[in-house]
Amino acid sequence: MTSTDQQPFLSVRDLKVHFSTEDGVVKAVDGLTFDLAKGKTLGIVGESGSGKSVTNLTILGLHDRDRTAIDGEILLDGKELLTASERELERLRGNKMSMIFQDALASLSPYHTIGKQIGETYRKHTGASKKEARERAIEMLKRVGIPQPDMRVDDYPHQFSGGMRQRAMIAMALVCDPELLIADEPTTALDVTVQAQIMDLLKDLQQEFGTAIIFITHDLGVIADIADDVLVMYGGRCVERGTKKEVLRAPQHPYTWGLLGSMPSLDGPVDVPLNPIPGAPPSLLNPPTGCRFHPRCTFTEKIEGGLCSTEQPLLKITDGRGAACHLTADQRREFFADYAATRSH
């Protein structure tokens, strides 16, 4: 089956990922639903432990199968991934879907040249000869902006700078023209200039190949640069979804307001003090009852009957837009307007 406008390229339905630890069951992802079309970028944002990386490792089938209980549906171009065999997943990883990790040094082998690592990935999935694989590696290094690629192809990872290693990893992830690319904080460890170059590179490659991208980050500034749609995760659940403009300009969830308040204003005065969210992300071994954000939320007294701590707010999505909060639409508008006013003075 081929993806069409009616059928998204990637479709995740009510995904639950729970894994066993010595201390109990961690509910890392607890009912996540989203779609992604070809050529589009979904930004998944949230603090550490919100479930964003686990979601993507599960899509790629890289979770520990013995200790993980998974429920729901993940359809990639119509193919159900949760029931696919390890062999099928291995085939799909590389030529259909691929991932860029945060730490290129840890992801590249120090014992093999950059060219060999890119070329081997290509050979594995296409059956190309060694010569063809080397040519392809040079072509990919050139495409990701490595100068003198025909010379640098024989370098080892330690001979590359941090930014070049990240580019090499992108080259490796894209060598088989994957249709889905998952980028997990790919620029966090890089300086701002290199970060901007990598983001431009991903956008160019997406335009060229029509790749669908999931971009995982804790940084809403990065989301503002690259995403089409945004999914905000908290405590293993989606708390807000919408287009980039909707989520960044008119957010509806107190957690998203908190995330925006803890970063420099995107277009307001530069001297507005940052306002980090109080408290820490919840334990997923023993998550809070009701709304998982309630121990950190400053709006709980606006909801009658202590509902925030007893009843989980439902995520109602209309036309791709929604937030999981007991506040009414009018309350959200009013409180966000108050918040925005404090950010513009």
Which residues neighbour 279 within 8 Å (Cβ) at sequence distance 6 or greater?
Answer: 295, 296
* 41, 228 contact by CB (below 8 A): yes
Distance CA 33, CA 99 (A): 20
297 is a contact residue toward ligand SF4 (CB under 6 A): yes
Task: Kindly state whether residue 308 participates in binding ligand SF4, applying the rule CB under 6 A.
Answer: yes
Task: State in angstroms the smallest separation of the CB of 297 from ligand SF4.
Answer: 3
Whole-angstrom distance, CA of residue 71 vs CA of residue 66: 14
Indicate the helix (H) or strand (E) that contains 272: none
Q: How near is the Cβ of 221 to ligand SF4 at its closest, in Å?
A: 23
Which of the stretches 38-46, 201-209, 242-250, 325-333 binds ligand SF4 when contact is defined by CB under 6 A?
325-333
In this structure, are residues 296 and 304 in contact, taking their beta carbons and an 8 Å threshold?
no
Report the residue number, 231 or 308, with the smaller CB distance to ligand SF4.
Answer: 308
Which one of the spans 15-23, 208-216, 218-226, 319-327 is the region binding ligand SF4 (CB under 6 A)? 319-327
Strand 24-36 versus strand 10-21 pairing type: antiparallel
Helical pair 162-174 and 130-143, crossing angle rounded to 10 deg: 120
C-beta closer to ligand SF4: residue 62 or 314: 314
Asked if 98 touches ligand SF4 (CB under 6 A), the answer is: no
299 binds ligand SF4 (CB under 6 A): yes
- Minimum gap (Å) between residue 185 Cβ and ligand SF4: 25
Is residue 26 part of the contact set for ligand SF4 (CB under 6 A)?
Answer: no
- Rule CB under 6 A: is residue 303 a binding residue for ligand SF4? yes
Kindly state the smallest distance separating residue 266's Cβ from ligand SF4, in Å. Answer: 22
Q: Provide, rounded to whole angstroms, the least separation between the CB of residue 262 and ligand SF4.
A: 16
- Residue 248 as a binder of ligand SF4 (CB under 6 A): the answer is no
Using CB under 6 A, which of the segments 143-151, 154-162, 256-264, 294-302 binds ligand SF4? 294-302
How far apart CA 35 and CA 12 sit, in angstroms, is 6
Q: Give the DSSP per-residue string, 100-160.
A: E-S-HHHHS-TTS-HHHHHHHHHHHHH---HHHHHHHHHHHHHHTT-SSHHHHTT--GGGS
Nearer to ligand SF4, 212 or 303 (CB): 303
Q: Report the C-alpha gap between 325 and 254 in whole angstroms.
A: 8
Supply the minimum distance, in Å, between the C-beta of residue 199 and ligand SF4: 31
Residue among 293 and 336 whose Cβ is closer to ligand SF4: 293
Number of alpha carbons in the 13 Å side-chain half-sphere of residue 217: 24
| Residue choice 50, 198, 326, 336 for contact with ligand SF4 (CB under 6 A) | 326
CB atoms within 10 A of CB 151: 11
> Is residue 232 a contact point for ligand SF4 (CB under 6 A)?
no
Which residue, 156 or 299, has its beta carbon nearer to ligand SF4? 299
Report angle CA 188, 192, 271 to the nearest 5 degrees. 105
φ and ψ at 71, to 5 degrees? -135, 155
Nearest approach in angstroms of CB 304 to ligand SF4 is 11
Residue 259 interacts with ligand SF4 (CB under 6 A): yes or no: no
If one asks whether residue 254 binds ligand SF4 (CB under 6 A), the answer comes out as: yes
Question: What residues line the site for ligand SF4 (CB under 6 A)?
Answer: 253-254, 291, 293-294, 297, 299-300, 303, 308, 313, 325-327
